[in-house]
Chain A
Amino acid sequence: MEQKEALFNYLLRLGDNAAILGHKLSEWCGHGPELEEDIAVINTALDLLGHARSLYMYAGEVEGKGRTEDDLAFLRIEREYRNALICELPNGHYGDTIARQFLFDQFNYLLFSELVNSKDETVAAIAAKAIKEIRYHLRRSMEWTLRLGDGTEESHKKIQESFNDLWSYTGDLFVEDESDAVIVAAGIGPDLNTILPIWRENVKAVLAEATLEMPEDGWMHSGSKSGRHTEHMGHILSELQYMQRAYPGCEW
């Protein structure tokens, strides 16, 4: 596989993670548990959508076919989206959203901490800007994990279930394929296998402090890197792409 193709795939993965999770988080707008939380969640959503835009723009450039951020965000078919499965899962209750966010933030933080040193200058520059925001996301989702885990009996029970339910989607974050091999060899991005143990340690430590059990490893979902998604993805795209599909070729 050529490096250009691998880099394009890689950028789409990063971009789709941010776009789809930002899209899901924005659904909380107007429905959060407190006004302050609405504002905070939207801030995270806006950060992620910002990352997605930079990554899509660069992906379009790398591909060299003149595709814009919107072409990439709105006009691909489902199998061409490369976001991790965990990003497309329903928001559920607030504990589900926090647990999903914490597991992802922890991954994203470790990944972007490495991307800051990427041999690809544009990737490094995007990561340098994004890492500051991701650090804040992680702090917030970690603090909320503690609050809900070590809060009331009800909240403890709820978020424990959230982590248990989400656990089988975490394996998908670390699956590597041919594109990854090229990216790692070129020094553009880290080997996900080196991140995994640190991710586990960190998640374990926070869950312990939150008086929660680390879920047991078992069968894991996978497929996002080849565009095999959950049933939820189609519904996301039917909303996300609605305008672009209903009125093709228009300026908005």
Chain B
Amino acid sequence: MERKDWPLWEVFVRSKAGLSHKHAGSLHAPDAEMAISNARDVYTRRNEGVSIWVVESKHIHSTLETDTESMFDPNADKIYRHPTFYDIPDEVGHM
């Protein structure tokens, strides 16, 4: 049977110019236009945003908890990717 209730959307809000959009929450809406309208009414009532993205929740893919070790742990010890790994004499100044 076809679902009668509106699909779920994820809402991302840019709080001010220059910042990236951040996940604010979810809501239901029949289409993208209304998802944006609803997001405006639900998630920016207190002037929290200047721009909104919405995406239907079913389109979001994510990593799995069971993959966490192989996905993220290997990068914990690659300290050469961080500036503190390199010795530069103080006399050189800020770099």
B 12-61 contacts with A by CB, 8 A: 27-30, 33-34, 37-38, 41-42, 45
A36 surroundings in chain B (CB, below 8 A): 27-29, 34, 38, 41-42
Q: Tell me if A143 and B38 are in contact (CB < 8 A).
A: no
Q: Tell me if B37 and A140 are in contact (CB < 8 A).
A: yes
Minimum CB distance partner of B5 in chain A? A34
A43 to B42, CA, bound (A): 9
Q: Is A195 an interface residue (CB 8 A)?
A: no
Question: Given A39-B42, A43-B45, are A34 and B37 also a contact pair (CB < 8 Å)?
Answer: no
Some 25 contacts from A to B, beta carbons below 8 A apart, are A34-B6, A34-B28, A35-B28, A36-B27, A36-B28, A36-B29, A36-B34, A36-B38, A36-B41, A36-B42, A39-B38, A39-B41, A39-B42, A39-B45, A40-B37, A40-B38, A40-B41, A43-B41, A43-B45, A139-B37, A140-B37, A143-B33, A143-B34, A143-B37, A147-B30
A residues within 8 Å of B by Cβ?
34-36, 39-40, 43, 139-140, 143, 147
Top 5 closest A-B pairs, CB basis? A36-B38, A40-B41, A39-B41, A43-B41, A39-B42
